[in-house]
Amino acid sequence: MRAQRITVALAIVASAVLLAPAAGTVPSGLAGCGPDASAGTLGIGDPYYPRFGNGGYDVQHYDLAIRYGPGTNHLRGVATIAALTTQGLSCFSLDLVGLTVRAITVNGDQATWSRTRHELMITPAAPLASGADLSVQVTYDGYPKGFVIPSLGAVSGFIRTADGVVVAGEPEAATAWFPVNDHPSDRASYTFRITVPTGFQVVANGVRESMDTHGDWTTHVWQANDPMASYLATFCVGEWTMRFRTTSSGLPVIDAIDPDVLPRVRASVRREPEILDFLESRFGPYPFESVGGIFPDTGRLGFALETQTRPVYSRYFFPNGASVIVHELAHQWFGDLVAVERWQHIWLNEGFATYAEWLWNGHEGFGTPRRTFEAIWGAIPGGSSFWRVVIGDPGVDHLFDGAVYVRGAMTLQALRNRVGDDAFWSTLHLWTEQHAFGTGTTDGFIALAEQVSGQDLSDLFDVWLFTPGRPPPSAVTGSGVVRASPKAVDHGTAWLRAFARRTAA
């Protein structure tokens, strides 16, 4: 993700905090199930967002049949959720905010339900055995709303535009438009059946399978076969210019571009195949069934997000937007292919995507990642608030702080300096291979880096991830001296300012 309005102190990005359900203790079971009942948990166990996700089942597939009127913002949906139970269940919950539930069936039988602001609590007609198939169908409707980002004065999640809607947000977006087990640790495949007035275009994750027009309404079917975290699911409605092409290897490239923003983004979009080739040369084969981007023309979208296979981009990043495309496409490996097990590990997403920008800058002739690393260290004063963020466990209020991005990338270069190129790249490649379509943690990454390098790296990761304050020169160069010339410091400051410009409305 790349936020748009980020305050810079000496060109350092400060925090951009998303509003989400408040942290706190969540009951282990669901109210109303009875004292002897077996219940799934309210929340999947993430201390940052205790109400995100739910326990007792594992979703395999979402089939979302949605009828949406852009003019009225009215949405009618039927969500059919295929899952497996992971315990005996007499009741369980889904996450859903704001919309009205009309009916629920579980394995074909009518179920009862109750609501809180964030939870849809479901009691099936009969208890479910552990390891059983679970099919839940929820019929619902309403007027979806986005989630406010207080520090930005902006909206994420469900964002209306002049001619439709853009769906994108992190860490929460899906709950605004369908019932969901809303946590990256439970990923699933998706079928999107989006019906909109004829003349509007729909774009979503994966590949488009069909368009079927019946009078004034057209149903657009998109299929995302690769398992996906729920916050990465998107459907966007508008008067898009749709561009379909393939790479030299046959990979579908699908871009949806608002005609009004086309002149602004054209040059950057043309570089998508080149950027993809570059990232594949560093990180290995692209992991999904298609690639591309969504480029709306709205002032209400204040960020870019790595929605799987099809990132969504704010118009403010362009016309000079190649770096942000690098960032969001790098997330397809780091954040999408390998998701975070818990949100505290967010540096594994943002630090890696920012490091990809440094690699790209070196490819473009603007200084090696090592030079960028040393220059940024020299450009940020030791007393800056930037250094106080503990990026290995930043807390909800600093989840998208600029330090998570930049210090995360610095951590990777510090690792590369210590272990050498062979061990560094082997670690990154094994990370994506071993955790593909799964999740990762900071401890798991550290253990892998130590295994590959044969070194004890606890001091390195402790100083960069878990110790507030500016790391000493020895953590930068290993020699105890950072020879950051004025020119190098200027280079670091220039990169940070460019980073800030791309993230400033």
430 near 436, Cβ under 8 Å?
A: no
Q: Which tokens go with 118?
A: 């964030």
For the segment 363-381, the average pLDDT, to the nearest whole number, is 93
User: Is residue 498 pLDDT above 90, yes or no?
Assistant: no
Q: State residue 489's pLDDT score.
A: 54
Tell me the C-alpha distance between 82 and 68, whole Å: 23
The per-residue pLDDT for range 56-70, each reduced to its tens digit, is 999 999 999 999 999
Taking only the tens place, the pLDDT of each residue in 427-474 is 999 999 999 999 999 999 999 999 999 999 999 999 999 999 999 999
Confidence of residue 18 (pLDDT cuts 50, 70, 90): very low
Indicate the domain borders of the chain.
57-330, 334-502
Q: Cα separation of 463 and 442, whole Å?
A: 14
The rounded mean pLDDT for the chain is 89
Rg (CA), the chain: 23
Question: What separation, in Å, do the N-terminal and C-terminal C-alpha atoms of the chain show?
Answer: 15
The single-letter DSSP state of residue 230 is G
6: phi then psi, degrees, rounded to nearest 5: -125, 120
> Residue 2: its pLDDT value, please?
75
Question: Looking at domain 57-330, what is its CATH homologous superfamily?
Answer: tricorn interacting facor f3 domain (2.60.40.1730)
Cα distance between residue 380 and residue 256, in whole Å:
39
pLDDT of residue 376 exceeding 70, the answer is yes
| Superfamily of segment(s) 334-502 | Neutral Protease Domain 2 (1.10.390.10)
Query: What pLDDT, in 10s, does the model give residues 477-495?
Result: 875 555 555 555 555 566 6
pLDDT value at position 147? 85
pLDDT tens digit string along 177-236? 999 999 999 999 999 999 999 999 999 999 999 999 999 999 999 999 999 999 999 999
Whether 340 has a pLDDT exceeding 80, the answer reads: yes
